[in-house]
Amino acid sequence: MKNKTILITGGASGIGLAMTTRFAEEGGNVYFIDFDQQAGEKVAQELKEKGLKVSFLQGDVSKTGEMKKTIASIPGSLDVLINNAGVSHVGNLENTSEGDFDRLYQVNVKGIYNCSLAALPKMKEKGGSVVNMASVASTMGIPDRFAYSMTKGAVFAMTLSMARDYVAYNIRVNSIAPGRVHTPFVDGFLAKNYPGQEKEMFDKLAATQPIGRMGKPEEIAAMALYLCSDEASFLTGGNFPIDGGFVNLKM
């Protein structure tokens, strides 16, 4: 990533933070967008104190005009775009409100449209790599994830379409499909829904993956780093599971 310009959305927490950190550690000039200004400023300060090249851009990925303006402010061309920003929801169709459905679509689907629409013109001259954050829910049925699965299925389809449309510009587009990853969202979900039973439920969720544990944000970041590197120059239009065997080894 040395001397490359990287844009990561949702880069101030969880998987996004691991990506921001790893790409900067590899020598990249990293711009990261996050809705949470306080968290973004804190991350930027901490990483800059380590001598890393990072810049925080506060913004809402669901806003088309805002993303055009924000991404246009990045000087020069872009080498890497990682569409990581996303939100989740637990529920089947009947207990997913219209507001929940619209919120997930606006961030998880339209957010990728908005950021890619603004970023791809900055990549077309030199080429580059796009990674979209999909999920195991993109390609299999998971209980009580109706709206979330809808959005992640769309991410998978958008990845294929973008890869086909921009291969002539030497822009590679792939997606990553994580299983359960231990992030602050998981801890918050358990605290809210299973007070006093957090450890028991955490172990139960971890055990649903054949490898016997949840993934680490750093492991997802490592996959993204490889897909965006020159070593992966023959890969485009792929959806890469990193799920502890969740999809292919289920009993």
Q: Residue 130, Cα to own-chain centre: how many angstroms? A: 11
**Does 53 have pLDDT greater than 70?**
yes
**Does 250 have pLDDT greater than 80?**
no
| Beta bridge mates, 131 | 82, 174
3-state secondary structure of 74: coil
Note the pLDDT of residue 165: 98
Note the pLDDT of residue 227: 98
Examine the residue annotation and report whether 148 is marked as an active-site residue of this protein.
yes
Note the pLDDT tens digit of each residue in 188-233.
878 888 899 899 989 988 888 899 999 999 999 999 999 999 999 9
Q: Name the nearest CA neighbour of 174 among 88, 64, 81, 71.
A: 81
**Does 7 have pLDDT greater than 70?**
yes
Computed over every residue of the chain, the mean pLDDT equals 95
Note the pLDDT of residue 190: 86
Taken in order of first residue, the domains within the chain and their CATH numbers are 5-180+216-242 (3.40.50.720)
Note the pLDDT of residue 185: 79
Note the pLDDT tens digit of each residue in 93-142.
999 999 999 999 999 999 999 999 999 999 998 999 999 999 999 999 99
Its pTM stands at 0.94
Note the pLDDT tens digit of each residue in 23-44.
999 999 999 999 999 999 999 9
DSSP secondary structure of 170-197:
TEEEEEEEE--B--HHHHHHHHHHSTT-
Q: Kindly name the residue from 148, 166, 169, 194 that is annotated as catalytic.
A: 148
| Beta bridge mates, 111 | none
User: How sure is the predictor about 170, in pLDDT bands with cuts at 50, 70 and 90?
Assistant: very high
Note the pLDDT of residue 251: 52
Note the pLDDT tens digit of each residue in 57-73.
999 999 999 999 999 99
Cα 129-169-33 angle, rounded to 5 deg: 35
Note the pLDDT of residue 22: 98
DSSP state of 107: I
Could you give the strand order of the β-sheet that contains 5-9, starting from the edge strand earlier in sequence?
54-58, 29-34, 5-9, 80-83, 128-133, 171-178, 239-242
Residue-level length of the chain: 251
